[in-house]
Chains A and B, each alone.
Chain A
Amino acid sequence: MPSTIRVRATAGGDTTEVQALVQHPMDSGFVKDASGNLIPPHHIEVLEFEHGGKAVFTALWGPAVAKDPYVKFSFKGAQKGDDLTVSWVDNKGQSDSLVAKIQ
């Protein structure tokens, strides 16, 4: 199965810029399906980025984050070729992770 995570991390000087897209419904719990039943909330709760064994960015998300969420941030101390580990867990206990190379 392909990963739900797409990440691009680019090192420029001493700063690495990270953009990530995660495939996830991010159901808010306030939307009804075709037959009028509420679709229960289903959203990512924690998305974490690690470099060198240390968290460099942690997103704590509620159901108001848009479907197939996107996030962008940047951090210092990484070099081209380093690993960046991305992982998420949602309110149903589902999870995924990916190790990306910093470009």
Chain B
Amino acid sequence: MAQHDNRPDRTRRLMLKGSLAGIGLSLTGLWQRARAAADAAIWPKDAFAQKAEADAIKTLYGKDAEASDQVKLDAPEIAENGAVVPIAVSSALPNVTSIAILVSENPNPLAASYKIPAGTSAMVANRLKMAKTSKVIALVESNGKIYSATKEVKVTVGGCGG
């Protein structure tokens, strides 16, 4: 009889143990997910919202850029389709911590910004949209200073539609 009375308790204890372990597991899962996932909070909203290239550069870095032949910007002379313009930036400058690309004539010039941690090469290739013929500006942050290279890209068909 006493044994019978004990049973529900034991079951409850087992269930409790089980669910606690479950909570522990799902918390670990959540933590790992959160840690591994891209975090939208780091997105520099203000810099992307600027309408002039100089303002975008100032907002992104808090300082102006100086032209440098150490920044290599690969972009086509003529882009037949402004919706997909291949652009690559690289630099031999030391301690590069970020690279950014701006398209002057786009409604918002800042197109992309890349964080380059130690151990990652100062090189990135991507594809951007260009509304019309425009200057493309590559920025490289090296030892805390901002260096730039500029190239004019002629666009035959704009990439912003409408």
Residues in A lying within 8 Å of B, measured CB to CB: 15, 26, 28, 30-32, 45-48, 50, 53-67, 69-77, 85, 87-91, 93, 95, 97
19 CB contacts below 8 A, A to B, read A26-B129, A28-B107, A45-B40, A45-B43, A46-B38, A48-B39, A50-B36, A56-B120, A63-B108, A63-B129, A64-B111, A65-B112, A66-B84, A70-B126, A73-B120, A74-B121, A77-B119, A95-B38, A97-B37
Residues B124 and A72 in contact, CB atoms below 8 Å apart: yes
Q: Which residue of B lies closest to A77 (CB)?
A: B119
Q: Does B114 contact A (CB under 8 A)?
A: yes
Residues B38 and A47 in contact, CB atoms below 8 Å apart: yes
Residues B128 and A60 in contact, CB atoms below 8 Å apart: no
Residues B113 and A60 in contact, CB atoms below 8 Å apart: yes
Q: Which single member of A30, A32, A61 contacts B107 (CB below 8 Å)?
A: A30
Q: Does B147 contact A (CB under 8 A)?
A: no
Summed over the interface, the residue pairs from A and B with CB atoms below 8 Å come to a total of 135
CA distance A73 to B98 in the complex (A): 12
Q: Which residue of B lies closest to A51 (CB)?
A: B119
Q: Which single member of A26, A70, A87 contacts B36 (CB below 8 Å)?
A: A87
Which listed segment binds A: B1-9, B13-21, B154-162? B154-162
Q: How far is the CB of A85 from chain B (nearest CB, A)?
A: 5
Residues B114 and A58 in contact, CB atoms below 8 Å apart: yes
Q: Which residue of A lies closest to B118 (CB)?
A: A76
Q: Does B106 contact A (CB under 8 A)?
A: yes
Residues B121 and A30 in contact, CB atoms below 8 Å apart: no
Given A30-B161, A31-B160, CB of A66 within 8 Å of CB of B43: no
Q: Does B29 contact A (CB under 8 A)?
A: no
Q: Which of A58, A64, A66 has the most CB of B within 10 A?
A: A64
CB contacts (< 8 Å) of B120 on chain A: these are 56-57, 73-76
